[in-house]
Amino acid sequence: MAVKAGVSGATVSRVFNRPESVSPSTREKVLKAAKDLDYHPNVIATNFIKGISGNIGVIIPRIKNIHMLSVYYFAELLGGIGDALSRRGYNLVLLYHDITAPVMPGNDYTKYFKGNKVDGGILLGTFANEPSLVKLKEEGYRFCLINNYIENSGISYADADNLKGSYKAVKYLINLGHEKIAFLNGPMYYTNSIDRLKGYKRAMEEHGIPFNRELLFEGNYGRKSGYTAARKILSAKSPPSAIFVSNDRMAAGLLQGLLESGVKVPGDISIVGYDDSDVATVVTPQLTTVHVSFYEIGYRCADELVKCIKGEKDYFGISVQPKIVIRKSCSRPR
C-alpha cells in the first residue's frame, strides 16, 4: 500500500491511527490505494494497540417479570444509541443491572467497566442521588446518565425537560376548564417523577388552584399499577374531572380500570398521558399525551459521550423539549 501510494510505511500507519497528523492530500492518496487494494484494517487489532476496546456499555435494569427490550421507552433509546455509536465506529454492548429495591447503597457500577472492557458507559434506570454514581465519576470512568441527573455533580446526562412537559400537560387541562386534576405519578426515587410533580404543582399554583395531596397517587410506571389506581382515584372524597398520568403505560391501565367501572372517558373524566408511546394510539379513546423523542435522547447522548471519550469535552447536559399531542381522551368538564 505504501509503494502504491508513494509514501512510507510510517505514513500509512498514521493515516489509519492518527489521521489528523497527515495532510489531506497524502491521506487521500493512501485511502485511494487502500480502496484499490481492497484493504480493510483490523479494527480489533488497531484498538488493542491504542489501548481501547471500541465498545460502549449500555447498562439497563433487569426487573422481574418485565421484558425491558419490548418496552417502548427502552427500545427507542437503544435505537438512537445504536445508530449514533455505529456512525462513530463503536459497538454497543448491552449489560444488565439487577434491580431489587428502590435504594441500594451497595451498588457498584465499576464492575461493568472493569469486567466488560468498555471505553464508556450509558446508564439507564438509575435512582436519584445514588452515591455509587459519584464514586464512578471520582474513579475517572467516562459515562453518562439517561433519565436521571445529579445536580452540581459534573456527571453528564441526557433527558427530557420533565418539569416543562408536566407543566404543559396540566396547563392544557386547566385551559379546558378543569380544576380538580389528579396526578398519577411514578416512584419518587426517580428524578423524572420528582420533576413531573414540580411541573404539576407549578401549573396549578400559577392558576390559583390549591395543591390537594388527596389527588396525588403513585404507580410504578407499569400498566397494572395504572389499572389498580383507577379504584383508588374513584374512591377519593372529591373525585377529579381530569387525571394527568406520568406515562402512557399507566394511563392505558387507568383507562381500562375507569371504563370497567362505568366511567366515560373523556365524558366523565379526561386523561393526559406522557411519552407518546405506541400505547397511546392503540387504546380507545386514543390518548392525548406529552411527546418525548427518546430516540433523540439516546442518539445525542451517545454522540456526546464519544466526544468525552475522545477528550473533546469533559461534560454535557442534554434536555430535550417535550410537546403535547392532542387526541381523543380529553374534553371540557361537565
Q: How many CB atoms lie within 10 A of CB 294?
A: 23
- Domain that residue 26 falls in: 2-41
Distance set, CA 187 to CA 197, 204, 215, 250 (Å): 11, 21, 16, 12
34 within 8 A of 1, measured Cβ to Cβ: yes
pLDDT band of 16, cuts 50, 70, 90: low
- Does residue 293 sit in helix, strand or coil? coil
Domain CATH for 128: 3.40.50.2300
pLDDT given at position 231: 96
pLDDT-wise least confident of 117-121, 127-131, 144-148: 127-131
Q: Which residue's entry shows cell 393526559?
A: 272
Mark whether 153 and 98 lie in a shared domain. yes
- The count of domains in the chain is 3
Rounded to 5 degrees, φ, ψ at 22 are -120, 140
Can you read off the three cell numbers belonging to residue 49? 494497540
Report pTM.
0.82
Angle among Cα 115, 111, 297 to the nearest 5 degrees reads: 100
pLDDT digits (tens, 9 = 90+) for 152-210: 889 999 999 999 999 999 999 999 999 999 999 999 989 999 999 999 999 999 999 99
Mark whether 223 and 272 lie in a shared domain. yes
- Does residue 261 sit in helix, strand or coil? coil
Domain CATH for 10: 1.10.260.40
